[in-house]
Amino acid sequence: MPILVMKFGGTSVATLDRIRRVAKRVGVEVAKGYDVIVIVSAMSGETNKLVGYVNETSELFDAREYDAIVSSGENVTAGLMALTLQEMDVPARSWQGWQVPVKTTNAHASARIEEIPPANILQKFEEGMKVAVVAGFQGISSEGRITTLGRGGSDTTAVAFAAAFEAERCDIYTDVDGVYTTDPRICEKARKLDKIAFEEMLELASLGAKVLQTRSVELAMRYKVKLRVLSSFEEQSDEAGTLVCDEEDIMESNVVAGVAYSRDEAKMTLVSVADRPGIAAAIFGPLAEAGINVDMIIQNISEDGRTDMTFSCPTDQVARAEKAIEGIKASGELNFSGVDIDQSVAKISIVGIGMRSHAGVASKMFKVLSNEGINIKVITTSEIKVSVLIERKYMELAVQSLHDAFELEKA
Amino acid sequence: MPILVMKFGGTSVATLDRIRRVAKRVGVEVAKGYDVIVIVSAMSGETNKLVGYVNETSELFDAREYDAIVSSGENVTAGLMALTLQEMDVPARSWQGWQVPVKTTNAHASARIEEIPPANILQKFEEGMKVAVVAGFQGISSEGRITTLGRGGSDTTAVAFAAAFEAERCDIYTDVDGVYTTDPRICEKARKLDKIAFEEMLELASLGAKVLQTRSVELAMRYKVKLRVLSSFEEQSDEAGTLVCDEEDIMESNVVAGVAYSRDEAKMTLVSVADRPGIAAAIFGPLAEAGINVDMIIQNISEDGRTDMTFSCPTDQVARAEKAIEGIKASGELNFSGVDIDQSVAKISIVGIGMRSHAGVASKMFKVLSNEGINIKVITTSEIKVSVLIERKYMELAVQSLHDAFELEKA
């Protein structure tokens, strides 16, 4: 039997009625002849409630206990989904992470899946079980303790199962009906994409389009898992949603696939740093140790042996970043005159694999923004992406202008 | 280090504040030099919520999924308790049933503990852990699936750990401050007992005094675990609560230790049954198969080869019992003229190991009830117990009169 992986997020299983609704969707795939692995999240609100308990109990909590506590929401959904399927005469059973087992690293609260031995579940499929309902987001460490994969980790669970079981496809059911050229709440011309390349999705996911956890896309790309994003709240055909796939599977596409944004960015500049080999390591080593997600990095031209070093990070990490920088200064490792912090910037990015073969995409972007009177503060580029930092108040305008200029509303 | 087992029920861990409160109690025992095994229930209300989900999802649910779902409440409390102890600088970690492992039978939803290998937890004690917080009520079957022990099962978990680890004592913290001579809500003269024998507690527990799960008392008796029942809502000394122990440990005691009652009893009589060998088996076999908890059984004197067969069971099982009896009649196995059902009876029992050596206790009980004009419908006796069925409206009166007559208010 071909195997299909179907993943349902928290809003898709928020009530017993919704569980029944998505169970019917699973039944449709079983009727088509698939053996199905269903990955479920906790009923929406449950994980937040449990995280709240942990935070209220302990400020610097033991991540091993955090994992043991917050993983329980998925176990409840998995059992309820199995019962619901059984009620519909679909042979099903639930699996908790340790039962599969989903073997992970020991990095509690942000563990990575290392191996999913398929033997146990395959044997049950052979014995006539049609659906394995697996609690997402969790696994077991080499020490036999429960681990979790970080928020949104159930997407990664789903892709990892699809890879381990060589599934025909991995369908991610969520509360949106696919991946859009940009956020429809900001730009009403946003258009749903039928297909998007892994590389593009990866850039969009990491740029703040929160449809899929970044790690799940990386994993899908590495193991060539066909990933489909679709809504659990609508009747679905086989062509619904957005297929995330290899770029060879996309016949014709726009040069730019989408415009992404990230609202809560901050720009920090170390002013007049004494320029010598190793200064980047001296700055970004301690920042990494402090858990700062440094995104863009710009080093200005050196004058008189001194340079400015600029980087961006999420606004809620600014305080921690400042503390780390004070530490660097105090250590005497680095000499600089001061730190400029701008907390009112946003990041806008255009993404598309077509950029590889089309020149002039970046300059067109800059021209569009310039025509709107938007000043660019920082630029970074990759093979398939151009990102800029701009003043946050221009964010919506920038997204809309770029969407128009690259004609993303047209297929 | 001597080992102490402490068990906290659902109301004792109902909120984060209460968890902090009982964690302090655990800290006091650690300070005395104990290695402590804490057994926790789910936060009160949680298990009922999960059972509600199951019942709403499926009428004839798969007990394996039921167990996977309802066991999650205890996992949350265990993690939170471990975090709370860590906050108080007490080295602690949580254990789920399968991690210990608590090995049980495969009888899902009412599994029995078969073995608790102490090696894993003992090793952690040796490494410096002071408290092992164990999720109560749950275990793992030989098939690697999660099992539960039935409602109130955390008491049994606690006693089983005390036996497996040869604990000095097993303290059951609950919302009452001990075992009483009778229910204080019914009889204001009820007195807390300092000590009670296992056999007496067993009779009281099975007779409806819901302080301890019956099975936990059986287990404590078999393994000679010193069991103490005390309140988690009061400051406690070493002598607080009630000690449930071997009768040799009780120097002097009243002939009657307590008066128990069970409100929701029904009396069913099969009228004019053709009397022949095997009729009891023909009746009670099918009733047992239907899951009816038959309690008292009375067979009247046979006349003309026919007899009346009377038994009692909980009122909420009457409908099922009737159906089973119809089945017996339809099968032609048994001939009887009809079924009388009396759903307005209650059971009153006096319990005491002193009865073994004192004659006239039963007749004194009958005289007391007779003096109050209370008619006795059914009588059964054991070595240390006399039980009667009476009209439910006389229940409180009967309890109070017996408490007075046997002077239970006096130590």
B323 falls within a domain? yes
Examine the domain organization and report whether B20 and B160 are in the same domain: yes
Mean pLDDT of B38-52: 95
CB A245 within 8 A of CB A201: no
Examine the domain organization and report whether A264 and A162 are in the same domain: no
The predicted structure's pLDDT at residue B209:
59
Mean pLDDT of B110-136: 97
Examine the domain organization and report whether B266 and B164 are in the same domain: no
d(CA B333, CA A122): 48
Its domain, for residue B272, covers 259-405
CATH number of domain containing A370? 3.30.2130.10
Last residue of a domain, one of B175, B208, B226: B175
Burial of A336 (0-12, 13-18, 19+ CB in 10 A): buried
Burial of B360 (0-12, 13-18, 19+ CB in 10 A): exposed
Nearest residue on chain A to B23, alpha-carbon basis: A57
Maximum separation of any 2 CA atoms in chain B, in Å: 78
CATH number of domain containing B77? 3.40.1160.10
Last residue of a domain, one of B175, B195, B225: B175
- Which of B271, B280, B332, B338 lies closest to B306, judged by CA? B271
A188: its two tokens: 């009403």
B236 falls within a domain? no
Interface ipTM > 0.90: no
Examine the domain organization and report whether A152 and A32 are in the same domain: yes
Q: What is the mean pLDDT of chain B?
A: 91
CB A145 within 8 A of CB A136: no
- Cα–Cα distances (Å) from B199 to A23, B167, B217, B228, in that order, read 50, 21, 8, 15
Name residue, tokens 């204080």: B184
Mean pLDDT of B182-211: 85
Examine the domain organization and report whether B161 and B272 are in the same domain: no
CA A225 to chain centre: 16
The helices-and-strands tally (H runs, E runs) of chain A is 12, 18
Examine the domain organization and report whether B26 and B138 are in the same domain: yes
B212 falls within a domain? no
B170 falls within a domain? yes
Burial of A362 (0-12, 13-18, 19+ CB in 10 A): middle
pLDDT digits (tens, 9 = 90+) for B382-395: 889 999 999 999 99
Examine the domain organization and report whether A8 and A127 are in the same domain: yes
Q: Is B74 annotated as a binding residue?
A: yes
A21 falls within a domain? yes
* Chain A residues closer than 8 Å to B94 by CB: 65, 68
Q: Is B180 annotated as a binding residue?
A: yes
A135 falls within a domain? yes
The predicted structure's pLDDT at residue B189:
94
B150 falls within a domain? yes
Examine the domain organization and report whether B159 and B291 are in the same domain: no
B88 falls within a domain? yes
CB A189 within 8 A of CB A404: yes
- In chain A, how many domains are there? 2
The answer to whether B65 contacts A75, with C-beta atoms less than 8 Å apart, is: no
Residue of B194 and B301 predicted with greater confidence: B194
CA A383 to chain centre: 20
Max mean pLDDT among A268-272, B144-148, B272-276 falls in: B144-148
Residues of B with CB under 8 A from a CB of A: 16, 19, 50, 53-54, 56-58, 61-62, 64-66, 68-69, 71-73, 75-76, 78-80, 82-84, 86-87, 93-94, 96, 98-99, 144-146
Q: Is A278 annotated as a binding residue?
A: no
- Confidence band for B323, pLDDT divided at 50, 70 and 90: very high
- List chain A residues with pLDDT less than 50: none
The predicted structure's pLDDT at residue A213:
83
- Confidence band for B2, pLDDT divided at 50, 70 and 90: very high
Last residue of a domain, one of A152, A175, A198: A175
CB B93 within 8 A of CB A68: no
The predicted structure's pLDDT at residue A290:
87
The predicted structure's pLDDT at residue B380:
87
The predicted structure's pLDDT at residue A208:
59
In the A/B pair of chains, how many CB contacts fall below 8 A?
104
